[in-house]
């Protein structure tokens, strides 16, 4: 089973530029003409989708009155946590600096331009559940 978060964003160009600065890759090749949806990859692995808020609400009208943003967080497992922190912290708002949680897992959290909070930890410590 796979879980694929889809971030509803105000401006995909802004979000794409932001995530590229953080070292993410974007693949828009699966979008049909007129679709404003983009696949987000980190270290070669798929991790999320970016979807224009207007397009998403047309696709799923049940979301029409839902504001952009998220009350919670997503996690990203990376190789080389310190390098990821050093790079991302130069380009994004760090909302919780590199620290250790109650299980001894080192991680940090950043916020993207639309308010999504993403926790980043060493891939080897991600629970594959």
Q: Which domain holds residue 27?
A: 6-125
Query: In terms of Cα–Cα distance, which of 83, 86, 55 is closest to 68?
Result: 55
- Residue-wise pLDDT for 15-43, tens only, equals 999 999 999 999 998 887 878 899 999 99
Enter the pTM of the model: 0.74
CATH number at residue 111: 3.10.180.10
Q: Which residues pair with 75 in a beta bridge?
A: 119
- Residue-wise pLDDT for 67-95, tens only, equals 887 666 788 999 999 999 999 999 999 99
Give domain status of residue 37, yes or no: yes
Q: Which residues pair with 46 in a beta bridge?
A: 41
Quote the pLDDT of residue 13: 94
- Residue identified by tokens 């943003």 is 69
Give domain status of residue 1, yes or no: no
Q: How many domains does the chain have?
A: 1
Examine the pLDDT at 129 and tell me if it is beyond 60. no
Give domain status of residue 34, yes or no: yes
Reduced 3-state DSSP string for 54-114: HHHHHHCHHHCCCCCCCCCCEEEEECCHHHHHHHHCCCCEEEEEEEECCCCCEEEEEECCC
Q: What is the mean pLDDT of the chain?
A: 87
Quote the pLDDT of residue 23: 96
């Amino acid at each position: 089973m796979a879980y694929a978060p889809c971030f509803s964003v105000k401006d995909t160009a802004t979000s794409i530029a932001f995530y590229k600065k953080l070292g993410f890759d974007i693949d828009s090749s699966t979008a049909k003409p007129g679709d404003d949806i983009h696949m987000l990859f980190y270290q070669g692995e798929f991790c999320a989708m970016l979807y224009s808020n207007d397009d998403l609400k047309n696709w799923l009208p049940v979301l029409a009155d839902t504001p952009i943003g998220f009350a919670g967080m997503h996690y990203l497992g990376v190789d080389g946590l310190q390098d990821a922190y050093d790079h991302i912290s130069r380009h994004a708002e760090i909302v919780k600096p590199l620290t250790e949680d109650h299980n001894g897992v080192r991680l940090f959290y950043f916020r993207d331009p639309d308010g999504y909070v993403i926790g980043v930890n060493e891939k080897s410590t991600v629970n594959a559940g």
